[in-house]
Amino acid sequence: MSLRALDVTDVHYVESLSPGGGRALLPPRAWYAASDAARLSLNGRWRFRLAAAADADDDAFAAPGYDTGGWDEVRVPGHWVLQGDGAFGGPIYTNHLYPFPVDPPRVPTENPTGDHLRVFDLPGDWPPAGDGEAVLRFDGVESCARVWLNGEELGHFKGSRLAHEFAVGPLLRARGNVLAVRVHQWSAGSYLEDQDQWWLPGIFRDVTLLHRPEGCVADFFVHAGYDHRTGEGTLRVDSEVPGRVMVAELGIDIATGDAVSLPVEPWTAETPRLYDGVLATAGERVPLRIGFRTVAVEDGLLRVNGRPLLFRGVNRHEFHPTNGRALDLETMRRDVVLMKRHHINAVRTSHYPPHPAFLDLCDELGLWVVDECDLETHGFVEQEWRDNPVDDDRWTPALLDRATRMVERDKNHPSVVVWSLGNECGTGRGLTAMAAAIRARDTSRPLHYEGDPDCRDTDLYSRMYASHAEVERIGRRLDGGTLKRRQLPFILCEYAHAMGNGPGGLADYQRLFDTYERCQGGFVWEWIDHALAHPAYGYAYGGDFGEELHDGNFVCDGLVFADRTPSPGLIEYKKAIEPVRIEGDAIEGTARITNRYDFADLRGLAFTWSYEVDGEPVATGTLAVPALDPGEWVEVKLPEPPAGAAGTAETRWTIRAVLADGTAWGPPGHVMAWAQLPVSGARLTSPATGARPVRSGALITLGPAVFDARSGALRSVGEVAVAGPRLDVWRAPTDNDNGASWQPDPRYGPLWRELGLHRMQHRLDAVELLDDALVVRTRVAPAAREVGFATAYRWTSDGTRLRLTVSVVPEGDWKVPLPRLGIRLGLPGAASGDGGPVPVRWFGGGPGEAYPDTATASAIGLWHSDVDALQTPYVRPQENGARADVRWAEVGGLRVEGEPPFWFTARRWTTEQLDAAGHLTDLAPGDTVWLNLDHRQQGIGSQSCGPGPLPQYQLHADEAEFTFTFAQLPR
Ligand code: GAL
């Protein structure tokens, strides 16, 4: 083939609407990880030169012999802005705003352009020239690339997260091949890639040279359906180059294009049964991993193999805290394994096709995939969608190119069950054209696009961030809409915004999905925080790289932290979607076990019980549970409670389902579901009365406690110095408290601050010395407002323990719920000795963080930790770390018992310091451990993008009374 060099200074392709060109650019085809044809990875260190504009440097560098001596180096795959310690510019984070003037398809003159150069030899065993051809494959380059090999131009392309191949013809040499790639950060393609994420230019996925032997495999399409009525699978592989298809395990050996039907085990995300096969043409053998399954929308439900499924999904962006969107295989596998361990069964590849190897992992380990096209034009919303590329025919070829590249690349994955046209593009004819093109090529998968409220082009009704109430209306088919829409299944392609602390309300959504068959689940937004490692901040978010336009920490909204540690949100989600429901009646001594899988039976699970007395397991055993089919339940008898165990103690059964044997993603014993069945309730603390308060000079003593006689403030309990305690209603607002500006619901964080809840004043009204009590009366209220709380602290003692009853009566017209209601006290950090860990023990909910609407994963038990480990490291510091349903806690030399059970947080900084911090590195531990003992907490919700906390989780300013009993711990 003869290749033509383009004009030296010609950069017209950057702003052209064309998706790509050049004579060597090949049409898209199926992607496969391996075959017996030779291949050479060109990943590694590349020479690199950065220019400030697209045409700043000429293309002389592409010619063999060019001296790159003065150039830098970058890692490929990688993003240059994340390499070179800032010398190559920096990342930019915007949610939907284009970081350049909107004047499509023009882009700024300042267009960072990275020239990449790699010189390579062919390996010794590479087939000799004349034996076949070769193809150069780029799996992902952001946003526009122009490619030369040995001085000859191959072409150029856009479509950052899609594969592009070039025929390299006779250009290859045995030694000293010069591959030159010019990458422009901005191009016309950038208008189509306005996803909410960092803008990260570079060659960020693999570059591979593929030998294409004579008679090699070209494109092929594996059709592997499953008929649930007959139990038969039907296999047909259409191949551009004819050949044979072999599946040894099934005894299949057929010609391409022929179909065969025979009994098989179907593929599902829960039972990812793959059959190894081979596609053999005259010149190449390509391994196939075949999963038989049939996807259909029938009777208003999305079904696989005849059964409706429930997405317990997440939106997954590709992200790594140092490598950006350049993910290695191990990181991809880690994502899938983590998801499987937390019962996540589905991924929406928001908002672009992932690295294709990720889909191989989804096939292998079992995840339903909504594969989304690399398309978002959200920034046009700023101009009422004027000039939106998806509604402008001139852009349609680029849109079709993207749709086609996705479908052709990914069509052979059983895990891909839905195609998605893209995200947040408004509406337009271009989307309709994409839908038509996809349907023309693949009739076996339904189409998704959330921005199509009438479902003109789609097969699923999809919403993002719909409230529980709306989901319920949809479930009951009362939501209206077009006739077509009303007949379609419903999914939440995004819900439960996991930004910072939260999301709240997951279990409530799950109840709706379990109740209404039309509601087939959803995808939590999102899987991972996109926080970038940063030398000063630890982890950085928008604005930390000096961007002039940015959206702050809106980019940190994942169920796992950037280092892939599960956040409490993931633990809560795991509980909400666990595949076995365990209920029961401890009095009757029975447990009811329900299989909540859509396809799998319970054969792989073992069931255990433990009987706990005041949180301590005193006996354990196993429960025999049959291998229930999906949806089936059984009632099993619990053993007799261990003799003599009860007495006055609090007792409960904890029943667990665990993996009996290891699976590909989880070890034996991995907890798959659990429940606690209380037997006898919480013991009441004894009253702690009898001692007399005695005044001597400036002090009052009462049992072990010393108070300031003038202010009534507690000074110490035994030898433990105490600051406070005082009524506290403030918490450092969470991202969900702060809410999103576009949300119609009240945004409590700003309202709380406006009201002054962060600067309450405490007026002393009386210090009353009674016969058996010290009563301190106060009014707690913010400056400039009439609202407040009449607050009385009533102290009593039995001589060794000190009991406090707090009575709170709201005054004035409280119009907003409160952040929290409880007391705050300071304990000396000296209790921690040398500044080392401050141990904490408690009996109550744990081991992790919980708030009223994030508490289903909180298990009652005896827990221990230390103050620092109680903190949840949300990237932007905010309220965190509460433990729920606490009966007693021991920290800083004190034991606190509560009635009723309480919430506690303990930290080595104040709430005010937490509130003021922008990054975790702003938080410096002080000498005091600040302990909040809360009677109630406000729920969390997910208002940073979705609805706020449900009414039942709101903390209204009502009259309240609660009690704590303090005692010094033995030293
Ligand atoms: C959605 C959008 C996502 C993300 C999310 C907020 O509207 O589709 O990409 O921006 O909001 O985090």
How far from the centroid of its chain's Cα atoms is residue 916's Cα?
26
For residues 714 and 806, give the distance between their C-alpha atoms in angstroms, rounded to a whole number.
14
Q: CA separation (Å) from 295 to 308, 394, 443, 518, 713?
A: 10, 34, 10, 16, 68
Rounded distance from Cα 378 to ligand 1 centre (Å): 10
Q: CA separation (Å) from 297 to 173, 211, 368, 489?
A: 52, 41, 15, 8
**Contact between 804 and 846 (Cβ < 8 Å):** no
CATH number of 12-212: 2.60.120.260
Rounded distance from Cα 480 to ligand 1 centre (Å): 25
Sorted by sequence, the CB contacts under 8 Å of residue 395 that are 6+ apart come out as: 17, 192, 389, 430
For residues 503 and 572, give the distance between their C-alpha atoms in angstroms, rounded to a whole number.
9
The residue whose C-alpha atom lies closest to atom 10 belonging to ligand 1 is 196
Cα angle 124, 125, 130; round to 5: 100
Please report the sign of the dihedral spanned by the C-alpha atoms of residue 752, residue 755, residue 757, residue 758.
positive
Strand-pairing partners, residue 41, are 208
Number of other CB atoms surrounding residue 643 within 10 Å? 7
Give the per-residue pLDDT at 6: 42
Virtual torsion, Cα 39, 40, 41, 42, nearest 10 deg: -140
Of 144, 153, 151, 140, the residue nearest 183 (C-alpha): 144
Pocket test for ligand 1, best of 93, 94, 95, 541 (most atoms within 8 A of CB): 95
Pocket test for ligand 1, best of 318, 348, 375, 525 (most atoms within 8 A of CB): 525
Domains 297-383+408-427+437-575 and 694-968 share a fold: no
**Atom of ligand 1 minimally distant from the CA of 95:** 10
- Residue holding tokens 């057929």? 254
> What are the boundaries of each domain within the chain?
12-212, 220-292, 297-383+408-427+437-575, 580-680, 694-968
DSSP class of residue 36 equals: S
**Contact between 266 and 306 (Cβ < 8 Å):** no
Residue numbers in the chain where pLDDT is lower than 70: 1-9, 644-646, 682-683, 685, 830-835
The residue whose C-alpha atom lies closest to atom 9 belonging to ligand 1 is 196
**Atom of ligand 1 minimally distant from the CA of 499:** 12
For residues 882 and 568, give the distance between their C-alpha atoms in angstroms, rounded to a whole number.
11
Cα angle 777, 780, 782; round to 5: 160
Confirm or reject CATH 3.10.129.10 for domain 580-680, answering yes or no. no
**Atom of ligand 1 minimally distant from the CA of 555:** 12
Task: Say if residue 690 is exposed, middle or buried (CB neighbours under 10 Å; 0-12, 13-18, 19+).
Answer: exposed
- Residue holding tokens 């649930």? 228
Rounded distance from Cα 353 to ligand 1 centre (Å): 16
The residue whose C-alpha atom lies closest to atom 3 belonging to ligand 1 is 196
**Atom of ligand 1 minimally distant from the CA of 195:** 9
Structure tokens of 280? 């053999």
Of 590, 626, 589, the residue nearest 607 (C-alpha): 626
**Atom of ligand 1 minimally distant from the CA of 526:** 12
Rounded distance from Cα 344 to ligand 1 centre (Å): 20
How far from the centroid of its chain's Cα atoms is residue 404's Cα?
28
Rounded distance from Cα 427 to ligand 1 centre (Å): 17
| Selected catalytic residue, list 318, 450, 494, 572 | 494
For residues 941 and 469, give the distance between their C-alpha atoms in angstroms, rounded to a whole number.
14
Rounded distance from Cα 96 to ligand 1 centre (Å): 9
Rounded distance from Cα 228 to ligand 1 centre (Å): 37
Q: Which residues line ligand 1 (CB under 6 A)?
A: 95, 195-196, 351, 423-424, 464, 494, 497, 525, 554, 557, 945
The residue whose C-alpha atom lies closest to atom 4 belonging to ligand 1 is 196
Q: CA separation (Å) from 819 to 557, 912, 917, 940?
A: 21, 14, 18, 10
At 16, give phi and psi (nearest 5°). -80, 150
How is domain 694-968 classified at the architecture level of CATH? Distorted Sandwich (2.70)
**Atom of ligand 1 minimally distant from the CA of 351:** 9
Structure tokens of 790? 């009449």
**Contact between 867 and 910 (Cβ < 8 Å):** no
Of 256, 248, 257, the residue nearest 280 (C-alpha): 256
Sorted by sequence, the CB contacts under 8 Å of residue 648 that are 6+ apart come out as: 683
Give the per-residue pLDDT at 643: 78
**Atom of ligand 1 minimally distant from the CA of 424:** 8
Cα angle 241, 244, 248; round to 5: 145
Give the per-residue pLDDT at 829: 72
Structure tokens of 646? 């009860």
Pocket test for ligand 1, best of 94, 196, 741 (most atoms within 8 A of CB): 196
What is the gyration radius of the CA atoms in the chain, in angstroms?
A: 32
Structure tokens of 237? 């592989």
Of 49, 191, 211, 206, the residue nearest 125 (C-alpha): 211
Number of other CB atoms surrounding residue 525 within 10 Å? 28
Per-residue HEC secondary structure of 832-898 comes to HCCCCCCEEEEEEEECCCCCCCCCCCCEEEEEEEECHHHCCCCCCCCCCCCEEEEEEEEECCEEEEE
Cα angle 553, 77, 147; round to 5: 115
Of 142, 29, 148, 144, the residue nearest 92 (C-alpha): 142
**Atom of ligand 1 minimally distant from the CA of 350:** 9
For residues 378 and 97, give the distance between their C-alpha atoms in angstroms, rounded to a whole number.
8
Continuous H helices in 710-812: 735-738, 748-755
The residue whose C-alpha atom lies closest to atom 6 belonging to ligand 1 is 945
Number of other CB atoms surrounding residue 45 within 10 Å? 11
At 750, give phi and psi (nearest 5°). -60, -35
Structure tokens of 283? 């010149």
| Selected catalytic residue, list 15, 193, 424, 849 | 424
Rounded distance from Cα 196 to ligand 1 centre (Å): 6
For residues 29 and 26, give the distance between their C-alpha atoms in angstroms, rounded to a whole number.
9
Sorted by sequence, the CB contacts under 8 Å of residue 322 that are 6+ apart come out as: 82, 532, 533
Reply yes or no: is the peptide bond before residue 105 cis, omega within 30 of 0: yes
**Contact between 831 and 720 (Cβ < 8 Å):** yes
424 is catalytic: yes
For residues 638 and 586, give the distance between their C-alpha atoms in angstroms, rounded to a whole number.
8
Of 250, 193, 198, the residue nearest 224 (C-alpha): 250
Structure tokens of 544? 């930390």
**Contact between 890 and 898 (Cβ < 8 Å):** no
Decide the pairing of beta strands 244-247 and 275-280: antiparallel
Sorted by sequence, the CB contacts under 8 Å of residue 678 that are 6+ apart come out as: 586, 650, 651, 652, 860
Structure tokens of 284? 């190449």
Of 283, 101, 77, 118, the residue nearest 200 (C-alpha): 77
**Contact between 452 and 428 (Cβ < 8 Å):** no
How is domain 297-383+408-427+437-575 classified at the architecture level of CATH? Alpha-Beta Barrel (3.20)
Number of other CB atoms surrounding residue 167 within 10 Å? 18
For residues 335 and 527, give the distance between their C-alpha atoms in angstroms, rounded to a whole number.
9
In our burial notation (b when 16+ CB lie closer than 10 A, e otherwise), range 55-64 reads: bebebebbee
Give the per-residue pLDDT at 2: 38
Of 808, 880, 876, the residue nearest 848 (C-alpha): 880
Rounded distance from Cα 495 to ligand 1 centre (Å): 10
The model's pLDDT over 359-403, given as tens digits with 9 standing for 90+, comes to 999 999 999 999 999 999 999 999 999 999 999 999 999 999 999
Of 654, 683, 686, 684, the residue nearest 671 (C-alpha): 654
**Contact between 6 and 153 (Cβ < 8 Å):** yes
Please report the sign of the dihedral spanned by the C-alpha atoms of residue 408, residue 248, residue 225, residue 338.
negative
Rounded distance from Cα 328 to ligand 1 centre (Å): 25
Structure tokens of 208? 């591979």
For residues 269 and 363, give the distance between their C-alpha atoms in angstroms, rounded to a whole number.
8
For residues 453 and 467, give the distance between their C-alpha atoms in angstroms, rounded to a whole number.
16
Rounded distance from Cα 771 to ligand 1 centre (Å): 62
Decide the pairing of beta strands 883-891 and 839-846: antiparallel
Q: CA separation (Å) from 959 to 143, 490, 727, 790, 791?
A: 59, 42, 13, 10, 10
* Residues shown for the chain: 971
Give the per-residue pLDDT at 646: 60
How is domain 220-292 classified at the architecture level of CATH? Sandwich (2.60)
The residue whose C-alpha atom lies closest to atom 11 belonging to ligand 1 is 945
